[in-house]
Amino acid sequence: MFPPVVCLVYLGGYSFAALLAVTFVISVYEWVRMALRTRHAYVLCALGLLYLAGSYYLFYLLREMQHIGLTMTVLAFFSVWASDSFAYIFGKILKGPKLLPKVSPNKTIAGLMGAVFGPVLILSVGKGLLDYFEIHEPDMSYMFIISLGCVIGVIAQAGDLLISAFKRAANVKDSGNIIPGHGGLLDRIDALLLAAPAFYLATITFLVT
């Protein structure tokens, strides 16, 4: 899925909007499917629609920002991927105490450290590349980079835990089966659903003047 996603992100506009529209419909289907298996089905359906609609809309606004939209969207994707990857690596190597075993038995405190380290690393590398190629928008300080990386790492894990808790409430292992061997779409983008809006809010607060 990586090449077409990167291509559509690069094109932006209607292409990126179409990508979000398709993934939004699939996400809603998976959310409603799980919600109907819980005790508070209709309440969770309504909350899910608000959560998903808000996340996707802010993600679209992030990409459509003039001058810096593409850069920040790419950084958002790679930060979340780095967060997931380093959380897995740190958790496997360091092991240690569990983070929230009743929600997600495999997550550890060491994994959370990796989840924070990953975005800080990828954002630092991204800023270094922007400086090297003399791309001055967005103008980000290293203090902003480190702070944003730490926040994204925690938020990405929170998004993951949110879907994990929801799956437990619905008594399902995966949110769906659209991706063979990997479960549903929500299983893949759970962290991004919270991290992308956080990127947008940080951008408009600290980078847009």
> What confidence tens digit (pLDDT) does each residue in 90-139 have?
999 999 999 999 899 999 999 999 999 999 999 999 999 999 999 888 88
User: SS3 of 98, please?
Assistant: strand
Q: What is the pLDDT of residue 2?
A: 77
Cα dihedral 7/9/14/19 (nearest 10): 90
Mean pLDDT of 40-62: 96
Contact 159, 189 (CB under 8 A): no
pLDDT 10s digits, 65-81: 999 999 999 999 999 99
Q: What is the pLDDT of residue 209?
A: 66
- What mean pLDDT is reported for the chain? 93
CA-nearest of 84, 34, 80 to 198 is 80
What is the pLDDT, as a whole number, of residue 178?
84
The string of pLDDT tens digits covering residues 6-29 is 899 999 999 999 999 999 999 999
pTM listed for this prediction: 0.93
pLDDT value for 5? 86
Sign of the dihedral through C-alpha 108, 74, 54, 207: positive
30 near 186, Cβ under 8 Å? yes
List, as own/partner pairs, every contact residues 46-54 make where C-beta atoms lie below 8 angstroms and the sequence separation is at least 24, other chains included. Answer: 51/193, 52/24, 52/27, 52/28, 52/193, 53/24, 54/197
For residue 182, pLDDT over 80 is answered with: no
pLDDT grade for 3, boundaries at 50, 70 and 90: confident
